[in-house]
Amino acid sequence: MHSSTEATSTPASVSAAASGTWTLGDLTVNRLGFGSMRLPQNGEAFADRTSGDRDRTLGVLRRAVELGVNHIDTAAFYFSPLRSANELINSALSPYSDDLVITTKVGPGRDPSGAFVWATPEQLRGQVEENLRQLGRDHLDVVNLRLADSQASASVADHFGALAELREAGLIRHLGISHTTPEQLAEARRIAPVVCVQNAYGIGSPAQDHAFLRSCGDQGIAFVPFFAIAGAGREGGASGAHDEAVLKVAGGHGVTPAQVRLAWTLHQGPHVLAIPGTGNPGHLVENVAAGALRLSDEDLALLAR
């Protein structure tokens, strides 16, 4: 059910549509999407400052769409010295198909050295306009307010209010919030509708994260985990180490541990979306194929331990 070879040998049955669909506001997406964070480094670690093979990266993006991916996550601060994720998406996929949903995020910026800086509410419009310009769009489908570690208990009213004004002005269609808490989500929802929450989440996440995921489902809000495969590796990517339960389930299905982690993520609720990213054509096919992987109750119980 999976292939690590180039796209030419991809089984015809591999499609992101097998993962089911969810609506972000009025936008319907397949639950298995694509994250572009690693694209400027050719799919390697985000912290790697080298730039990847441009043609290969453009090919991966086009192949993702051919495989039914219609939800792509990006940000203007995803760049290496020579590559920008937004520019790569624009070059590969513009003119965009009507059903393609591009989700971006604002809040963080990066100076020329790559160091992160965080926008004031007044600076968010400039970040939104930067995404519009790089992507070649006249509006953004979904914009997430990405919060910093230092904002874990801070009010989001000023920042989210600034984005709500840009939504009213027509620059943004829908809003989300990322790296957030239930309290911040509730505060944001009092200002404007929220269609998605993006948080770190995966097998082994603590109980409060599972509870937040379920709460989002109860509110009709998509939950979009990042680092679902990488786990503790975070921006550095997944290590080769996997716990015994993941390896056992993977062996039972004849799939990779990464595919088990993605399938487990999608099993957490119909409102859960996956956005695995890669610059490797074979890994792309494996990731998309994971959307069709159905885990048994026994598998899920084993992974829950």
- The pLDDT, as a whole number, for residue 43 is 47
Question: Residue 51 pLDDT more than 60?
Answer: no
Q: Which residues pair with 274 in a beta bridge?
A: 32
pLDDT tens track for 181-207: 999 999 999 999 999 999 999 998 999
Q: Which of 34, 46, 78, 227 is catalytic?
A: 78
Structurally, how many domains does the chain consist of?
1
Tell me whether residue 267 is in a domain: yes
- The pLDDT, as a whole number, for residue 58 is 96
* Alpha carbon distance 43, 39 (integer Å): 5
Q: What is the mean pLDDT of the chain?
A: 90
Question: Among this protein's residues, is 201 annotated catalytic?
Answer: no
Tell me whether residue 269 is in a domain: yes
Tell me whether residue 17 is in a domain: yes
What DSSP assignment string belongs to 233-287?
GGGG---S---HHHHHHHHHHT--HHHHHHHHHHTT-TTB-B----S-HHHHHHH
Closest CA to 160 of 119, 132, 201, 131: 119
Tell me whether residue 263 is in a domain: yes
Domain that holds residue 217: 7-304
Of 6-10, 19-23, 166-170, 187-191, the poorest mean pLDDT is in 6-10
Tell me whether residue 1 is in a domain: no
Tell me whether residue 2 is in a domain: no
- The pLDDT, as a whole number, for residue 292 is 97
* Alpha carbon distance 148, 146 (integer Å): 7
Q: Which residue type sits at 212?
A: F
Tell me whether residue 121 is in a domain: yes
* Alpha carbon distance 106, 84 (integer Å): 15
pLDDT tens track for 105-152: 999 998 878 789 999 999 999 999 999 999 999 999 999 999 999 999
Q: Give percent of the chain above pLDDT 70.
A: 88
Closest CA to 88 of 122, 50, 134: 134
Q: Which residue type sits at 214?
A: R
Q: Which residue type sits at 58?
A: L
Structure confidence at residue 228 as a pLDDT band (50, 70, 90): confident
Tell me whether residue 271 is in a domain: yes
CATH of the domain at 252: 3.20.20.100
Question: Residue 48 pLDDT more than 60?
Answer: no
Closest CA to 223 of 203, 194, 246, 192: 194
